Structure 1
């Protein structure tokens, strides 16, 4: 049975480490907050900060759909695609101003070449590459799984399962580092232990607080 931890655990008992990206190994909260505020308001979608915080870790498409539903705004497929493009454009234009590594950088470097490591994120693969290169973490990972590589994003476990597959480790021997509720659910769904980095490592993502 997968375990959920709120304290640091002995990582040497695992055969593979899988990390969420935004809010876990990458501090990008303000970047995504500003991108969402600009994009949603342009399309007359207004939701609470608490609601957006609750969607941390959810892929862009699902975030738009859920935010529109919450605001009783009906969007066409073209409008959704437009919003996805607008949000991505903002992030691409401004990520170098905001993105930096979190304190988990120390653990990543500590276990480099000792245990295989993967990133499993609700962001696109290209965005993950950009962010990880910006923070200097890209070279430490054996695999990077973005939302475009799976059919079902978080809270389903597909992202983490593909990460485990890419590093050739049985899911039951992996532990996931996560900061968001949907990510915890995804790890448990994948049959993996998961640690809440907010509690265990004092990692806090300044996203719609």
Structure 2
């Protein structure tokens, strides 16, 4: 499943979080359904899949704009996130990447998380996986001016690790993240080719 010999050619590894290290897609899907339905914001499974990796507030703004609506973005995000945290304890699990790649190499090479969610949420998810102390460099969308698909998230992660972008390998499960990795001048692994990914939001 994993081409470890290829991965080890790179000095540092940067991981997306949702769908890459953590099985949180079910909780995210249900939380989105809860919030969007409450505020009567139209959405489709296809559009939500296209927006994978885009920060939550930006996703709300995009969906509202496409529907010609004016919404209280903060209120939508607050309802969505509250529902997500309610669901997280009963739905969170690690992807195969954690046991197969991350844990065997802890302390052997620099690793970071570069995610489209905000840092506090990312750290809470990592804590649920028992990885919060192992992966100390966590770059959330709130730390950069331009989140994915812009390269800023991954470039800041590389900077914090002290490794040149060309020496970093990114693990991602979303098109926005893969675009960001390319823009950052980093090689990438599309984890969707390594195992079955949960269905998109219906």
Question: TM-score band, normalised by the shorter chain?
Answer: over 0.9
The alpha carbon displacement at 1:159 in A equals 0.6
The alpha carbon displacement at 1:127 in A equals 0.7
Match in the other structure for 1:3:
none
Q: Which runs of 4+ in 1 moved over 6 A?
A: none
Q: Deviations over 1:87-108 (max 9, x none)?
A: 1211222211111100001200
- Separation in 1 of the partners of 2:124 and 2:106? 20
Q: Deviations over 1:79-138 (max 9, x none)?
A: 111111111211222211111100001200121111100000011111111111111222
Match in the other structure for 1:126:
120
Unpaired runs of at least 5, structure 2? none
- Separation in 2 of the partners of 1:203 and 1:120? 22
Match in the other structure for 1:146:
140
Matched, 1:176 2:170: yes
Stretch of structure 1 that moved more, 41-50 or 177-186:
41-50
- TM-score (ref. length: structure 2): 0.93
Match in the other structure for 1:32:
28
Whether the 8 Å contact between 1:116 and 1:142 is mirrored in structure 2 is no
What are the equivalent positions in structure 2 for 1:49-64 lying under 5 Å apart?
A: 49-64=45-60
The alpha carbon displacement at 1:203 in A equals 4.8
Match in the other structure for 2:105:
111
- Separation in 2 of the partners of 1:60 and 1:100? 21
Unpaired runs of at least 5, structure 1? 1-6
- TM-score (ref. length: structure 1): 0.90
The alpha carbon displacement at 1:189 in A equals 1.1
- Separation in 1 of the partners of 2:30 and 2:36? 10
- Separation in 2 of the partners of 1:206 and 1:132? 22
- Separation in 1 of the partners of 2:122 and 2:135? 11
